[in-house]
Every structure is written in C-alpha cells, then in structure tokens.
Chain A
Amino acid sequence: MTAIGAKPAAGATMDIPSTIAGIILLIVIVGATYFLVGPGMMFYALLGVIIGGLLISFGVHFVPVGGAPAAMGQAPGIATGVAMLAAGAGLAGLFGGAWAAEQGLAVAVITGAVGGGLMMAITCMFVTFIYVFGMGIPSASGKVAKDPITGDTQTEYKSQGTEGHGLPFVSYVGGVTGGILGGGGGTLIYIMLLDVYKEALPAMMKAQAAQVVPIAVSLAGIFAIGMFLVNAVLTAYNITGTIEGPHDPKFKRFPRALVASAVASALCGMVAILIVAM
C-alpha cells in the first residue's frame, strides 16, 4: 500500500453481534470437540492450542510494522508486512521451543518465547542501525508527542511531510514483546499437538512409540506453522497496513482480533486433533 492510503483510523469498537456470533461459534467448536474426544489430554490440548493462538494474535499487535512507507522513511516501524515479520519471529521461536520440547512444557514455551524475542531484538537493533547510519534519520513517532517509556519528545525529530520514521524505543520494546508472545504461543501449540500425536499415532498406525516420533514431530510442526500463519494473517487484517507498536491507537483494536483468533484456532485445533482421534 502507499503512504497516501495509510491514514490510520482508531476503530477500537467491538461489533457486538459479530462478537456474540464468534463466542457462540467458539463454544460450539469446543463443545463438539469435548463431545467427540471426551475429557482428557486431547481436550486440554485444544484449550492449549486456543491459548497459543491468542498469544500469537495479541503478540502480533505489538510488532511495529511500517510496510512500504517505512522503507522510504515516511512512517515509523519496520519495513515489512505485519504477518511476515511476526511469522519470522514466531517461527524462530518455535525452532528453539521444539528443540527444548523434551525438557518440559514450561521450559520449552519460555525457550520459544525467548527465541522469538531474541530474533526481534536483533532485527530491531539492525533496523535502527540502518536508519541512523545508512540513512541518517533519527527515530521519531508520528502517533505520540512523547515516547511512553523514555519520555523523549518526538515531533522536533520528525522530518517534514512524513508521519515520522525510524524505530522509537517504545516500538523496539513492542517488537521484542511481540516476538516473545508469538514465539511462546507457537511453541505452546506445537507441544500440545506433539503430545496428542505421540499418544494417538502408535495405536492408529500399529507401530511402536519410537517409530512414530518423526511423524508426530513433522505433523505437529506443520500444524503449528500453519496455525501461526492463520493467526498472524488474521491479525494483520485487523491492523490493516501499518502499526507503530503498543502506543499506536490501532493497538486498541486487539480485542476484535482475539475473538476471531480464538474461533480460528479452535477450528484449526479441532481439525488437527480429530485427524488422529477419529
């Protein structure tokens, strides 16, 4: 999209009928899964998948993305798309989390979260590096007069005819927070599905537990990546274009995305679980 079309609108209001419809749909999906698989590990895995999806969706709102305007120094943020950057960070986290899967749920999820945060920290630092040393532009936000964390004033560093540029410190912190939530959420989905597949596949394929591990890992990994992209893209539509980070008025839109993300994650999770449960 062009910078001309990137005029942000807050629009944080919830559409009540759609929200109610979404919640009813969520209850129906969760109820149907409970009816089909009964109380137990598989049902709790679905709840874990939904929580993971919510973490990803909430995390994506933190990631400062400026798209094409950012690449010209016309708007603050990172010069790429919301879904892409969040997916990159979250998948880097999932990579670490999957590696630590044997060490328990808590360690794996936190490892995944730190992996996503580390990817974003390095990327955001290099973004600032390029803006400052490659383009000679200091960071300036167009959405707030002062940086909410450092208190730095913004307007006098903004060049004329732009909405701001660079990556103010609050956006940096937002990026790292988004990476942490995305990496943790993706890893949670992966671990939940991995447990389900490890449990169900041996009986289904008439094989020993050790033989199904590669299949379980692959299947859980593919579903985790898929659900990551579902939630990231869905959230990108909620953000529409660019966002500066947690201080951006668009950030207030996140409840809408959370409802949609819960429904989408529940549906994807149900499919992912039922392929081995039925």
Chain B
Amino acid sequence: MESIAFGIGITALAGALAAVAGAAENTESDIGSQGDPNSQVQLAPQMGYLHRIFNKAIAGEPPAYGLWVALGAGLAWAFMAMHVNPILAIVLGCALAVFVQGVYATTAYLGRIASLSKFGQPVFIDVLKSMTTVTMAHAFVAIFTTVTICHLINAALGHPFPLPLLGLVWGIALGAAGSATGNPFYGKERQYQTQKFGAGVPIAASGNIVRYAEAGERNSLDNGWFSAKLGGPASGLCFGLIVFLELWRTVLFEKVGAGWGAIVVGIIMILIFTVIDRYIEVWARKTYGPYTEPAKEGS
C-alpha cells in the first residue's frame, strides 16, 4: 500500500513538473518562433514586410527538444556517476544543455535572418541580445523539469531505460505535444491579429504577419507574453496529462490482471478523450454555426 501511495505521489509530482515543462516549452518556441508558424516569419520579408521577430527554426521542435533534454539528462547522469548530488547534477546538466540551446538560437537566428538580406531584412543585434537570453531562460525551465521527470521515472518508479534515453523519449514527446497544441494559437491568433476572429487565415494572406504591437514594433518578447495566456498553459496541460495519465495507469493498474489492467484503463481513457473531443467539435459547429455560403467578394 505504501509503495502505491509513493508511486502516486511521484506520478503527481511528475505530472505537475510536466505541466510546467509544456508551458515553458511552448512559450520558448513562440519567442524563438521555432514552431511551424515560423514559415510565415521567414516568408514575411519576401512579401515586403520587414519585422523584428526572432526566428530560429532550423529543425522542428521535437528533435530540438529531444537533443536538449537528452543532453541535459546525459550530463546529469554523468555527474551522478561521479557521485554528485542528484539535484545539483540535474541543475548542472541542464545549465550546460541550455548553453547549447543558446548557441543554437544565436546561429539559427543569424543564419535565417541573414539569408533574407536580399529582401532588405536586417539582422537586429538588439533583438539577438535581448531575446536569446529570454529563450534560454524558458528553455532551462523546460529542460530542467523534463530531466527531473525522467529522473523520477528512472530512480523512483524503476523504469528500465537509462536517464539519457528517457530524456530523448520525453524530450521528443514534449516537443511534439507543445508544437501540436500551442503553435496554432501563436500562428493564427498572434501573427494574424488583423484577420477576423473565428475564421482561418486565407492562403492569400500568407506572409502578411502583424508587425506592430501595443508599444511600438512587435518583437518576440510580446509573443511570449501573448502565448503565456493560452497556448502555453494548454500545452502544459496537454503534456502534464500525457505524463500523469501514462504513469498513473501503469503505477496503479500494472499489477491488475498481469498487465491487462493498465491496458483496459488506457483504452477507457482514450474513449473518454474521444467523447470530449467529439463534444467540443459538435459544440463548435452548433455555437459558431455554418459560415454563409462562400461569397464572391474577397475575404
């Protein structure tokens, strides 16, 4: 009984850490414009819209986070092997991994923006100076919490994978969840605030991103502020639920029916999420109603 209570406690802690990780990851990727909407930031100067937005997407979020979390976890693992206290080892490992993220952010921003110089897009050194540190800070929160989850799963719950491998698995899962959930909010709601709310962005508007914010020209710190309202927390909740439910069903029901208990609970949870999804979909169709017949005039 005690071991189950311990397992549930670790599961809850891991779920809470995952929620923080997801929120930080999404905010970091939106400040750095690393998610899928980055193509619009890249496209804007070609369409004649110069901007002051960071753009560091040279690889997708999931592989990039897979690298950074695996790096943080691997270094933490090495420090632990040198008999460093686990908490200190994780902090040190993640701090070193964040420097790699910082180098990546710097070179990616310079490379991506410099490639647009033929369209008149300058490299803003003040953007680089002020925003790289902010993405690094958010990345540290995301990497630290994810490596801590991996350590809890490995040391306290006894998962067979070593820490670096768990780091790779959960780093990729973190990037996938954050990229899928939070990016549309930044992509459509933030970059296209001139477009009507409650409709998709017409393909003809590609590249015409909003470049001015509440106080002067928009920069990526404004994007971080905006994402932290909904996209970040939703990504956090998404990743938190994935980690929590995956661990919860295993810790509580693995022993039931020689492993089949966890499978049945997993299937029930999939069905519950399917019902919720369908409910939201039907609610949206009823509430927003059908759009009028496609009109002849432009959007």
Name B39's contact: one of A1, A124, A136, A167 (CB within 8 Å): A1
Q: Which residues of B contact A160 (CB under 8 A)?
A: 199, 202, 291, 294-295, 299
Query: Is A13 in contact with chain B by the CB < 8 A criterion?
Result: no
Residue of A nearest to B257 (CB): A107
The reply to whether A91 and B173 form a contact with Cβ atoms under 8 Å apart is yes
Q: Which residues of A contact B246 (CB under 8 A)?
A: 92, 95-96, 115, 118-119
The reply to whether B274 and A89 form a contact with Cβ atoms under 8 Å apart is no
Query: Is A128 in contact with chain B by the CB < 8 A criterion?
Result: yes
The reply to whether B281 and A128 form a contact with Cβ atoms under 8 Å apart is yes
Interface flags for A221-234 (1: CB within 8 Å of B; 0: not) read 11001000000000
Given A71-B187, A79-B36, is A124 in contact with B291 using a C-beta cutoff of 8 Å? no
Q: Say what secondary structure dominates the interface of chain B.
A: helix
Q: Which residues of A contact B62 (CB under 8 A)?
A: 80-81, 84-85, 87-88
Smallest distance from the beta carbon of A1 to chain B beta carbons, Å? Answer: 7
The reply to whether A159 and B185 form a contact with Cβ atoms under 8 Å apart is no
A175–B254 alpha-carbon span in the complex (Å)? 25
Can you offer 20 A-B residue contacts whose CB atoms are under 8 A? A73-B200, A78-B180, A81-B36, A85-B179, A94-B169, A95-B159, A98-B159, A118-B242, A119-B173, A119-B177, A125-B280, A132-B284, A135-B197, A156-B293, A160-B295, A161-B200, A166-B284, A167-B277, A213-B160, A221-B162
A162–B199 alpha-carbon span in the complex (Å)? 9
Chain A interface residues (CB < 8 Å from chain B):
1-4, 67-74, 78-81, 84-85, 87-89, 91-92, 94-96, 98-101, 103-104, 107-108, 110-111, 114-115, 117-119, 121-139, 150, 152, 156-169, 172-173, 176, 213-214, 217-218, 221-222, 225
Smallest distance from the beta carbon of A12 to chain B beta carbons, Å? Answer: 25
Name B187's contact: one of A68, A92, A162, A164 (CB within 8 Å): A68
Smallest distance from the beta carbon of A231 to chain B beta carbons, Å? Answer: 14
Name A135's contact: one of B36, B184, B278 (CB within 8 Å): B184
Chain B interface residues (CB < 8 Å from chain A):
35-40, 43, 60-63, 159-162, 165-166, 168-170, 172-173, 175-177, 179-189, 191-192, 197-206, 230-231, 234-235, 237-238, 241-242, 245-246, 249-250, 254, 258-260, 262-263, 266-267, 269-270, 273-274, 276-278, 280-281, 283-285, 288, 290-291, 293-295, 299
Residue of B nearest to A155 (CB): B294
Besides A92-B169, A96-B262, 9 more A-B contacts (Cβ < 8 Å) are A3-B203, A73-B188, A118-B273, A128-B277, A130-B184, A161-B200, A164-B200, A214-B160, A225-B169
Given A73-B201, A103-B259, A136-B197, is A84 in contact with B176 using a C-beta cutoff of 8 Å? yes
